[in-house]
Structure 1
Amino acid sequence: MPGNKAVVYEGPGKVEVHETGYPEFELKDGPGVNPANVGRKLPHAAILKTVATNICGSDQHMVRGRTTAPPGLVLGHEITGEVVETGRDVEFVKTGDLVSVPFNISCGRCRNCKERNTHICENVNPDRPGSAYGYVDMGGWTGGQADYALVPYADWNLLTFPDKDQAMEKILDLAMLTDIFPTGFHGCVSAGVGPGSTVYIAGAGPVGLAAAASAFLLGAAVVIVGDLNKERLAQARSFGCETVDVSRGEPRDQIEELLGVPEVDCAVDAVGFEARGHGRESGEEHPATVLNTLMDVTRAGGALGIPGLYVTGDPGAHDDAAKHGSLSIRIGLGWAKAHSFVTGQCPVMRYNRQLMTAILHDRVQIAKAVNATPIPLDEAPRGYHEFDEGAARKYVLDPHGLIPKAA
């Protein structure tokens, strides 16, 4: 049996790569594992040799100490890999298949899964609907920033690439199917982006950039991306976006300079609860800023897609209300403008097959849009640090050195 190494959260600001156990077809006790899940048998699971596993902004929330994640938690919910072993109940997925893993863990059997709401599966997290690998309060399923990872309900969850050689040629693009590409796309679909739309996307991190690429794929006429980080704004401009530097002031004024009117048709929040203020307040945290801005700049009757992460517990928040996820949102403004809101995790399986086809047929270059950058697994601490410092990159961990070979 091969050994296994994984990226482990050791406390605020600290991640390390440790030797860990090879996956088994049973959930073991450990940091973050829900007691009700301990001992759960997984004959329906598959073990993957990880080909690519990405660092996500959602991981950074934990690493910054902004959640209740326990030290010792194995990180990583964006997994692409090769099947090396299957449980006795796996019928269709085969050893040797190259697959993408939706970050949502779902059973395929409950009411929500059958209604395509795989982001709120009722059977994988004893505490509440919805689960993910390597994430706080998500049931305790082991993270995938590792040499090897285990995926439950493999026949249901895994998306198999039809041509392995073709997939390896586009592996950096396909690695984005686990989370950020469908998440950005979901934000745009939720906001009603379509042909000729004008769109404002708050946040030029990887999800915001993926949302911008998705907006173009959906036919948007103008895509405006707002952020404080000049390097990330430059990355947005590299594939045709207009940009707003929110450190200069309110986006509304800069949007008017670009469009001639201060409002857009649709808006997407790709920032979440660690949002900062605008203008003079750009150095301060104001967690409701993005939500309130989106209501301000979206036309009456428009919609807001909100894939940006919001939490029920934020020990690092600056006020007691925000520590429990209560924010000062101008809901009266949204009500007066008859806005529609869609929040929550993206149901990845609703989109990943279609987006895979778009990648394989060269309709989108998502890795280029988000500046996907492969690094070895052992360099994960550097990747986390540079990403936290604002690098305009999507770091892709390459545990077995397979990505350079493909390139």
Structure 2
Amino acid sequence: MADNRAVAYKGPGEVEVIDIPYPDFQLHDGPGVNPANVGRKVNHGAILRTVSTNICGSDQHMVRGRTTAPHDLVLGHEITGEVVEVGRDVEFIQVGDIVSVPFNIACGRCRNCKEGKTGICLNVNPDRPGSAYGYVDMGGWVGGQAEYVLVPYADWNLLKFPDRDQALEKILDLTMLSDIFPTGFHGAYTAKVGPGSTVYIAGAGPVGLAAAVGSQLLGAAVVIVGDMNAERLQQARSFGCETVDLTKGDPQDQIEQILGVPEVDSAVDAVGFEARGHGKDAGEAPATVLNSLMGLTAAGGAMGIPGLYVTGDPGGVDEAAKEGSLSLRLGLGWAKSLSFTTGQCPVMKYNRQLMMAILYDKVQIAKAVNATPIPLEDAPRGYQEFDAGAAKKYVLNPNGYIKAA
């Protein structure tokens, strides 16, 4: 059977491209695989030759050693591919299709899936609702930063692109449909962004920038992005965002300089549990962003929280943080009648509509996040540069489909 190369977590700060087995239609024992999933038949699945697979900030949390991820876990949940094999129970997806893979794995059969809550499928992860490829405590489905990957429930999960040539021409935009574009859009949508909204987005990494693009697509009047990284703030300004430099302290004063008032209608947390306090020399303070948003969101407003928060963080700043317990200003949020939405984005709720926006040139998400293709073997460099704050979204190109790489 064909060889397969993949990116694996080797320990804090270290990834390596290794040889792994070519996938078949069964889950095998391996790093991070839930014992209850070992031997699980996947006759409803498809095997993809990877067209593109992206490095995500959620991957970076694991690589920094900030989760309980086991060594040799194969990484990668942002996957676009060409179907090369289908299981015996697949009816509609065909060999040769170019498809986007939602990062959250869903069965399409359980109550949550039928209600559109595909980020918390009840059947794919024996430990808890919700699953993803190549991620700690998510059932052990092998990651997609590889030459080939198995995708279960193919007829349900895969989004087929209507035209192969068009898809490959726009692949740097379409690759963002597996996670960050729907996730950023979900952050804006759940923050109730609409025509004329004023929006503050904490974090100018790829998800924050995708939330900014999503806010613009939803009709926001002003989109403000805050970060401590000057290069990333410049990237936000490149497509029309206002920016806030958090090395200068709390964002409210700078927001007031932009809007005339120190509040916004909608706010998005695109940072998550590794948040730092405001100010040039501030250390890690994981509740900073959430508490800041409670203060700067107008009464009756909404907060979208696509930033990742975890139940286990070995590197947490204190014992509470190590189990995901944060000290929140919930009383303030309650007094202001704020609403907020957390959890995995249900990618399938948005990915087809966002695909259409890309195909008909209504949005240029790759340009906004500075999509940068690199070979699979350069993944360790990509992780290092991304961790150092590069204002880029690294797109791995395992099989040479992306000619620019």
Q: TM-score range by the shorter chain?
A: over 0.9
| Structure 2 CA distance for aligned equivalents of residues 314 and 49 of structure 1 | 33
Distance across 2 between alignment mates of 1:400 and 1:156: 25
Deviation at 1:2? 1.7
**In structure 2, distance between residues paired with 1:191 and 1:157:** 26
Deviation at 1:281, TM superposition (A): 4.7
Q: Deviations over 1:281-303 (max 9, x none)?
A: 53x00000000011111000000
Distance in 2 between the 1:131 and 1:86 partners?
Answer: 21
Deviation of the 1:279 alpha carbon = 1.5
1:107-126 alignment to 2 at 5 Å?
107-126=107-126
1:331-363 deviations in Å (ceiling 9; x for gaps): 011001000010000000000000000000000
Q: Aligned residue for 2:369?
A: 370
Q: 1:368: how far off?
A: 0.2
* 1:127 aligned residue: 127
| Separation of aligned partners in 1, 2:54 and 2:385 | 14
- Aligned equivalents of 1:106 and 1:78: distance in 2? 15
Give the count of matched residue pairs.
405
Q: Please tell me whether the aligned partners of residues 246 and 280 of structure 2 are also in contact (alpha carbons under 8 angstroms).
A: no
Aligned-pair CA distance for 1:275: 0.3
List alignment gaps of at least 5 residues for structure 2.
Answer: none
Instruction: Give the corresponding residue for 1:297.
Output: 296
Q: Tell me the residue number matched to 1:286.
A: 285
- Report the equivalent of 1:187: 187
Q: Alpha-carbon deviation of 1:280? A: 4.9
Distance of aligned partners of 1:278 and 1:361 in 2 relative to their CA distance in 1, 3 Å threshold = same
Matches of 1:261 and 1:341 in 2, distance apart?
22
Could you list the per-position Cα deviations for residues 204-245 of structure 1 after superposition, in whole angstroms to 9, with x for gaps in the alignment?
Answer: 000000000010000000000000000000000000000000
2:200 counterpart residue number: 200
State the match for 1:243 in structure 2.
Answer: 243
Q: Distance in 1 between matches of 2:154 and 2:317?
A: 41
> What is the one-letter code of the residue matched to 1:403?
I
Q: Which residue of 1 aligns with 2:344?
A: 345
Q: Secondary structure at the match of 1:403?
A: coil
The reply to whether residue 145 of structure 1 matches residue 145 of structure 2 is yes
Residue 235 of structure 2 aligns to a residue whose secondary structure is helix
- Which residue number in structure 1 is paired with residue 381 of structure 2? 382
Fraction of identical pairs, as percent: 78
Q: Which residue of structure 2 aligns with residue 10 of structure 1?
A: 10
Shift of 1:400: 1.0
The separation in 1 between residues aligned to 2:255 and 2:381, in whole angstroms, is 36
Give, as a single letter, the amino acid of the residue that structure 2 aligns with 1:274: E
Q: Aligned with 2:402: secondary structure? A: helix
Greater Cα offset, 396-405 or 152-161: 396-405
Tell me, yes or no, if structure 1 residue 102 matches structure 2 residue 98: no
Instruction: Please give the alpha-carbon distance, in whole angstroms, between the structure 2 residues aligned to 1:210 and 1:66.
Output: 24
CA contact (8 A) 2:208 2:270 kept: yes
Q: What's the RMSD between the two structures over aligned residues?
A: 0.7
Residue identity in the other structure for 1:103: F
Q: Return the letter of the residue paired with 2:173.
A: D
| 2:296 aligned partner, one-letter code | V
In 2: Cα distance, 1:369 partner to 1:346 partner: 20
Superposition deviation, residue 110 in structure 1:
0.1
Counterpart residue identity of residue 102, structure 1:
P
Which whole-Å CA distance do the structure 2 matches of 1:187 and 1:362 have between them? 22
**Aligned residue in 1 for 2:215:** 215
